[in-house]
Structure 1
Amino acid sequence: MQPFDLELNNINYAVFPEGEETYTIYKDGKEYLQIQKDDGEQWIKFDGETGTPVFESDEEVNALGKLIEAYKEEPEEDEENDESDQSDEEY
């Protein structure tokens, strides 16, 4: 999965998938936090200095997590359209 942008409360975030449901989030062009999907609907963030999970509830982290889930569920129409355009050109 490629990096993508999200907007939450008029703030733009850049999301970089790291694998295993872990994402590094950039805010204002600077690394902001790293989050990971936990069991159920909860998302956990990692301490920026130690890299250890912080299990207290964080509304911003959960809201970003929900936006990431919604983004992942959207079909990637652009890639499909590009492929069909290329196959038309070959004939």
Structure 2
Amino acid sequence: MQQPFDIVIGNIDYAVFPEGNDTYVIFKNGKEYVSIQKDTDLQWLKLDPETATPIFETDQEINSIGQAILSYVPEEEEDEEFE
């Protein structure tokens, strides 16, 4: 499974914690913010915090976070043998 990672959109820092099945828990400025799920490459859904069911409404911030997740490239880990 993918490891947690950070993204920056504008001047806002988000921490992304993959949960599997295209679902992610997002932390904004160090606090749990929202859970999101990929619907399509361009459309992401916010999940209801109590039931974890998708909320079918367009949210530009959620879609921006999703696009940043799709374009995230993990940093290569350095090989510790050569240190």
Match of residue 68 from structure 1? 69
Identity %: 55
Alignment CA distance shift 1:10-1:48 (3 Å):
same
Match of residue 8 from structure 2? 7
Q: Which has the higher helix share?
A: 1
* Large movers: runs of 4+ above 6 Å: none
Radius of gyration: which is bigger? 1
Query: Aligned partner of 1:37: which letter?
Result: K
Q: For residues 77 and 51 of structure 1, what CA distance do their matches in structure 2 show? A: 30
TM-score normalised to structure 1 length = 0.79
- RMSD, matched Cα: 1.8
- Stretches of structure 1 that go unaligned for 5 or more consecutive residues are none
Kindly tell me the number of residue pairs found equivalent between the two proteins.
Answer: 82
TM-score normalised to structure 2 length = 0.85
More relative contact order, 1 or 2 (CA 8 Å, 6+ apart): 2
